[in-house]
Amino acid sequence: MKVRTRFAPSPTGFIHLGNIRSALYPWAFARSQGGTFILRIEDTDQERSSQEAVDVILEGMRWLGLDPDEGPFYQMQRMDRYREAVRDMQDKGLVYPCYMSVADLDALRERQMANKEKPRYDGTWRPEPGKQLPPVPEGVKPVLRFKNPVGGVVAWDDKVKGRIEIGNDELDDLVIARPDGTPTYNFCVVVDDIDMRITHVIRGDDHVNNTPRQINIFRALGYEPPVFAHLPTVLNEQGEKMSKRNGAKAVTAWRDEGFLAEGVVNYLARLGWSHGDDEIFSREQFLQWFNLDHLGKSAAQFDDAKLRWVNAQHMKAAADEVLAPMVAAHFKARGITPDERLPRICGLLKDRCDTTIALADWCERFYKPVQVSAEERAKHITEGVRPAVSMLAKMLESVAWDKAAITECIKEVLRATGLKMPQLAMPVRLLVLGTTQTPSLDAVLALSDRETVVARLQDA
Ligand code: GLU
């Protein structure tokens, strides 16, 4: 059996990290099994769906490298198919028209609640042998209800939650088509999962209540249901369900804030799945290791500091040539023109940055005039060091512009003035890059441009 998985987001808000994790796992499972990953946009809630939300889904997936092999398919474009499936259900006698009005349904619900019963449709319009149905009211268009099996249980071995069994008597007859003939959500999902030959449904556990109903529809149509894995919720840092209503950012915002796709994939992979104690891994390792046997059973909590830490590890591991174009893109937005030094500057600074934005902030110091506050100046550029700084400036004017030669100049100045390295390095760092917290001085100077360094040191 060839594995076929799907991600089926509803474009009713900007998908956040918690949502996209429901794409990562089916994608990884399909990839790791040599299977097929399908993207299906569930846009039947036309009131709440938007093209902007679809764009965030597509862009976010592209950014993270979660490319579908098939799709995107849009449910709104499959309406004819669902109507045909509804007719098929009618032809097979699997559904019946129900004329109960909304007011009657509400009254029924209230009676049941008052009797402390679970509110459910009572089967008034369900045909049974020998049963007299009420007279069909005039001018009322019926909904179509699915004849849920009576008695017995619906059971499945959930890959996350283990065995789940629901008594059929707890499930009432689901509406599969509205009075105007439009099919309902649970029905469309089953038709799609059948047509798309989905073998594994990996989705959020907010759908676990839909599953027994969907399984019954699968079987009624003559299909065995797929394997299900219901992923626990992702909580935000406050321990609430992650949602854009309480501040979750769109997936693409993380890209714009300078996170690496590799870092985010690594972080999300661990948010609900584990491989021993491994915290940092590449996409390839993840795909080698991923299976449905090590999915976490409890809710995962988002942790911004951990995401930053994971991203920082991927920043360190990233090739300078990969980081440089990302920094160049941030530069472009800032009106700075990079040059051929940029990859080497990235290499020098990437260890201290958790995002490409932070890296661009650092790299910027090599391309823009630096600001040194009067306070810093007074603290580090004292009368005692000024002659040494001038001496260094003079020597750097003519020395070969490489690390070894620059190191020699620095040593010579220290010898001549009797200063200790930090006494000279602090003011030089401050003047050249505007901060005393830089990587090693010779490397910083070698990557700076000679005229700029000399001019900045002369400014002491
Ligand atoms: N469209 C549903 C959602 O966004 C997912 C349905 C499914 O995966 O079956 O929550």
232-284 pLDDT, tens digit each: 999 999 999 999 888 899 999 999 999 999 999 999 999 999 999 999 999 99
Task: Please name the residue whose Cα sits nearest to atom 2 of ligand 1.
Answer: 9
Cβ–ligand 1 contact at 207 (below 6 Å):
yes
From the CB of 9, is ligand 1 less than 6 Å away?
Answer: yes
313 has a pLDDT exceeding 90:
yes
pLDDT of residue 246: 86
Taking a C-beta distance cutoff of 8 angstroms, is the pair 286, 268 a contact?
no
For residue 248, the tally of other CB atoms under 10 A from its CB is 22
Ligand 1 in reach of 41 Cβ (< 6 A): no
- 291 pLDDT exceeds 90? yes
What's the confidence (pLDDT) of residue 420? 96
- Distance from the CA of 229 to the center of ligand 1, in angstroms? 13
Give yes or no for residue 15 CB within 6 A of ligand 1.
Answer: no
Overall fold of domain 81-177: Glutamyl-tRNA Synthetase; domain 3 (3.90.800)
Q: Is the CB of 8 under 6 A from ligand 1?
A: yes
| C-beta of 189 in contact with ligand 1 (< 6 A) | yes
- For 107-222, strand residue ranges (E) read 143-146, 153-158, 162-167, 175-177, 200-204
Beta strand 300-301 with 162-167: parallel, antiparallel or unpaired?
unpaired
Helices (H), 221-370: 251-256, 261-270, 283-289, 304-317, 320-334, 342-349, 356-364
Task: Report yes or no: 43 and 52 within 8 Å, Cβ to Cβ.
Answer: no
Q: Which residues pair with 116 in a beta bridge?
A: none
Count the residues in the chain: 460
Dig out the tokens for 4 from the structure: 């076929």
CA distance linking residue 56 with residue 305, whole number of Å = 24
Q: Is 11's C-beta closer than 6 angstroms to any atom of ligand 1?
A: no
Which tens digits make up the pLDDT trace of 198-242? Answer: 999 999 999 999 999 999 999 999 999 999 999 999 999 999 999
CA distance 460 to 456: 7
Please name which of 148, 144, 221 lies closest in space to residue 177, comparing C-alpha atoms: 144
| Mean of the per-residue pLDDT values of the chain | 96
**pTM summary value:** 0.93
Q: How far apart are CA 131 and CA 137, in angstroms?
A: 18
The pLDDT score that the predictor gives to residue 244 is 82
Cα–Cα dist 409/388, whole Å: 11
> Cα of 87 to ligand 1 centre, how many Å?
24
Q: Is the CB of 10 under 6 A from ligand 1?
A: yes
The residue contributing the CA closest to ligand 1 atom 6 is 8
Please determine, looking at this structure, whether the domain spanning 374-458 carries the CATH number 1.10.10.350.
yes
Nearest CA to 430 among 446, 441, 419, 442? Answer: 441
Please say if the pLDDT value at position 124 is more than 90. yes
Phi and psi angles of residue 338, each rounded to the nearest 5 degrees, phi first? -80, 175
Any ligand 1 atom below 6 A from CB of 203: yes
Alpha carbon of 255 to ligand 1 centroid (Å): 24
| Domain 1-74+184-317 in CATH 2.160.20.10 | no
Asked whether the predicted pLDDT for residue 1 surpasses 90, the reply is no
What pairing do the DSSP bridges indicate for beta strands 143-146 and 95-98? Answer: antiparallel
The C-alpha atoms of residue 366 and residue 456 are separated, in whole angstroms, by 12
d(C-alpha 66, C-alpha 23), whole Å: 7
Instruction: Measure Cα distances from 340 to 199, 320, 405 in Å.
Output: 50, 12, 21
Question: How far is the centre of ligand 1, averaged over its atoms, from the C-alpha of 8 (Å)?
Answer: 5
Q: Hey, what are 173's tokens? A: 């007859």
